Structure 1
Amino acid sequence: MIMVFMRVFLRESKNAYLYTVKLHQGGVVYFYIDESGQTGLELFDENQPFLYYGVLSSEYDLDKHLVPYVEKLRKTLGVERLHAAELGNGRLVTIVDDLVELKNKYNLSFDFYRLTKKDHAALCFFDQVFDQGNNPAVPWNAYWTPLRYVLVAKVSYLFDEDLLKKAWKARIAIKKSFAEKELVDVCKELLNRVHWLPDTRSIEIITDALNWAVKNPSKIYYHASSKEDKLQISPNLIGFQSVMHGIATRLENTKLEATRVVVDRQSEFNKAQEWISDLYRNAKKLDEPMGFGPGMPTMDLKHMPAVPIECTPGTDSSGLEIVDIYIWLFKRHMEGKQLADELYPLILGQANGMFNEVSLQALMERWGKWFQDLPEPTPEQIEKGRELLKIDEERRAKHVKSAT
């Protein structure tokens, strides 16, 4: 489960940083994490197509320094808590000068993360069914090298929303027999559609892999064995991985140490967030980054926070109240929704923030460029590649034959 969990993150790791990271060298830093668009394991709510995470960071403990400022803003607005969705454009405009002052005074930096929920369902299907460790009919290089990103695009193309819902329902099912029956049905329907693809090699690989899965559904391990397993493949926890790696990037680039990592308390996902945070914290002692194949991203955990996360009610954290406002602003800006011109200084002023997106489009943009920039192989490299491909084709041929 841990290896599958890490692979899910690595498909989008270090993707699409829009801004440069810049904080003062040395010292400590405090992080405040909140989310928006949370629908749990329901990925197909048309009103909430994205899950967002926002991270506010500062060299000051905002839960101490911002208390009098936040109390003043609450009093000015006549509210018990600063909640941007309730305040809206009009009321936020009345306090924007105060927010800009706080940003400058306490050197606030904001990092923003987005996950497309429907894409998450497609990526989870691919990561389980086309995992070459689970499915021996998949060529080694089609999963353990960047060629996997070509394959995932083509497999995802074969889905429509109804079939994607069926695949996701099976993926989070605890009942093994139900999950396997649904998986077989999904694979058979994909086999009916595989001719939509234009190239024979992709058709061959996908057909072989799906046929093997149909004959061996129990070896795909497609169901969730417990409620905890379901949470570990939720978009919330995948997004939280992006957050933790973004924090590690800040700590690496700025030579800072995390003093506190404050996460908004909520009942469903805090335990899973604590689990992955503890996993990363305990694994940070690894001397070498974890590799996942030639040309693939590596996972370097040595800059992860050394402190456990603190799950805190939003009403008890001034930092969480402010990060809620930033998430609302950036979310509306990215979705093209109405945002008062007076509020843009808070967005445009975040030149030291990071943005990361988990989606099929972001994946294709990143790896499409990577493939375009590859140098032409030499004749010797082509010949060596053919030799290696022959060896692997001989390996998988017996598995393909057994599934026909």
Structure 2
Amino acid sequence: MFFYVDESGHTGTRIFDPEQPMLYYGVLSSNVNVDALAEEKLKQLRSRCGVARLHANELGNGGLVAIAPDIVELQKRLNIRFDLYRVAKPDHSIICFFDQVFDQGNNPAITWSGYWTPMRYVLLLKLASLFDEDLAKKAWEARIEIHDNKAEAGLVNVCSELRARVDQLPDARSRQLISDALLWTENNPSEIYYNTKTKGDRLQITPNVIGFQSVMHGIALRIKKHGRKAAKITIDQQCEFNKAQNTLANFYSKLSGSQFANGPGLPEVDFGKMPTIPITFASSANSAGLELTDIHLWVFKRAMENKELAPELFQLIKRQLNKGHTDEISLNAIAARWKRWFEELPDPTPEQIERGKELLAIDEARRVKPNETNV
């Protein structure tokens, strides 16, 4: 299979740009080499539009309407599939904060089940309700701060402000767990390993690289679904994040063929069909596949953001409704996904309830000790 990957809305560590709240990745795939087989047709369309390359942002609705039937014809002839991944950038700050501060491996004040089971998403969403934009910005600034002393001071400040808001939560157990975890962090900020250490580390935690993780897992899912191997993966060439993307792809390729168990109720981490071929970086000026990815990404992005989109362009989306795949990293997406999981849980038996109480008592005895000695 051949894959072509483009992104839109990237701002690196500047994740609170109100003009670009979402980072998008578009992945166009086919069983055939789109670069080779679409080039002649795209050459004709470029000539018709009077441009050197077909850039959706430059063509706009009017320019794309004129070539939409030709793009649909390419979709059919080359059996093109288009997958979309996006990251809500402001939410990324809060999710990062939770993953670092509430990691039970670092913070003994959190319960084992509060991090290693789906209960983590309950705590995450309750914690998120305490954040406003200003506090989320402070958490992110501390996360990307290279100097430890500044980062730890910022982290302590954020934890203190959050603890002052814990009373807003409706249930006593959430207030207790979240308050205890925050207090332990205030007393032991260096034990959380919260901040990045180098500029390279900064890139690894940006929405661009987090979203690219979804892209790689999506490619692996396509390979598994269609029973084929990856022949080529072409990424849009842009200097800032290509190195980090390449590092991640190489790391994943080494894990290909493996699966890792997760906590109870959490999905298995599956690298079984992760591609092992090196990824290729190219410009859309030299890749018909990337050219088509740019067009699809522009159309899908405008549709999802409810921006003006010519009715004639919806035919590009229509053909992908039963073929394409979408995924999102955001607080809303997490809430929707795990609400359904909790609603479908069967009622526990009396024996399970008793066993759960026993395990909770053991974990609680372990958990309360750290703050007893650090308050």
TM-score w.r.t. structure 2 length? Answer: 0.98
Deviation track 1:16-57 (CA, whole Å, cap 9, x = no partner) reads xxxxxxxxxxxxx10000000111111110000000000000
Report deviation, 1:403.
2.4
| Aligned-residue CA RMSD (Å) | 0.8
Specify which of 109, 119, 133 is matched with residue 91 of structure 2: 119
Matched residue of 2:274: which SS?
Answer: coil
Partner residue of 1:366?
337
Report deviation, 1:367.
0.3
Report deviation, 1:60.
1.2
Give the partner amino acid of 1:300: D
Matched residue of 2:44: which SS?
Answer: helix
Specify which of 337, 361, 372 is matched with residue 390 of structure 1: 361
Partner residue of 2:203?
231
Aligned mates of 1:38, 1:45 — CA distance in 2: 10
Task: Report whether the alignment pairs 1:339 with 2:309.
Answer: yes
Specify which of 361, 371, 375 is matched with residue 400 of structure 1: 371
Report 1:295-306 matches (<5 A). Answer: 295-306=265-276
Aligned mates of 2:6, 2:374 — CA distance in 1: 47
Matched residue of 1:376: which SS?
Answer: coil
Aligned mates of 2:261, 2:153 — CA distance in 1: 34
Partner residue of 1:275?
247
Give the partner amino acid of 2:349: T
Equivalent pair of 2:219/2:274 in contact (CA under 8 Å): yes
Aligned mates of 1:242, 1:196 — CA distance in 2: 34
Report deviation, 1:302.
1.4
Give the partner amino acid of 1:114: R
Partner residue of 1:252?
224
Report 1:156-195 matches (<5 A). Answer: 156-195=128-167
Partner residue of 1:9?
none
Partner residue of 1:357?
328
Partner residue of 2:24?
52
Matched residue of 2:239: which SS?
Answer: coil
Structure 2 unaligned residues grouped into runs of 5+: none
Partner residue of 1:348?
318
Name the stretch that deviates more: 61-70 or 323-332: 61-70
Matched residue of 2:28: which SS?
Answer: strand
Deviation track 1:285-317 (CA, whole Å, cap 9, x = no partner) reads 33xx21221111111101011211111122111
Task: Report whether the alignment pairs 1:321 with 2:281.
Answer: no
Deviation track 1:166-224 (CA, whole Å, cap 9, x = no partner) reads 10011011111110000000000001100000000000001100000000000011110
Deviation track 1:211-253 (CA, whole Å, cap 9, x = no partner) reads 0000000001111011121111110111111111111111111
Report deviation, 1:402.
2.0
If asked which structure has higher relative contact order (CA below 8 Å, sep 6+), I would say 1
Aligned mates of 2:123, 2:262 — CA distance in 1: 17
Aligned mates of 1:328, 1:403 — CA distance in 2: 53
Partner residue of 2:176?
204
Task: Report whether the alignment pairs 1:140 with 2:119.
Answer: no
Equivalent pair of 2:257/2:273 in contact (CA under 8 Å): no
Give the partner amino acid of 2:367: R
Give the partner amino acid of 2:293: V
Number of residue equivalences: 374
Structure 1 unaligned residues grouped into runs of 5+: 1-28
TM-score w.r.t. structure 1 length? Answer: 0.91
Aligned mates of 1:92, 1:299 — CA distance in 2: 40
Give the partner amino acid of 1:126: F
Report deviation, 1:265.
0.8
Aligned mates of 1:319, 1:338 — CA distance in 2: 25
Aligned mates of 1:169, 1:270 — CA distance in 2: 23
Seq. identity, %: 53
Specify which of 34, 40, 50 is matched with residue 62 of structure 1: 34
Give the partner amino acid of 2:130: L
Deviation track 1:138-166 (CA, whole Å, cap 9, x = no partner) reads 01100000000000001111000001001
Name the stretch that deviates more: 322-331 or 244-253: 244-253
Matched residue of 1:297: which SS?
Answer: coil
Matched residue of 2:260: which SS?
Answer: coil
Report deviation, 1:278.
0.8
Deviation track 1:352-382 (CA, whole Å, cap 9, x = no partner) reads 1101011100100010010011000011101
Aligned mates of 2:198, 2:30 — CA distance in 1: 38
Give the partner amino acid of 1:172: I
Give the partner amino acid of 2:360: L
Aligned mates of 2:46, 2:364 — CA distance in 1: 66
Matched residue of 1:382: which SS?
Answer: helix
Aligned mates of 2:94, 2:136 — CA distance in 1: 7
Give the partner amino acid of 1:316: N
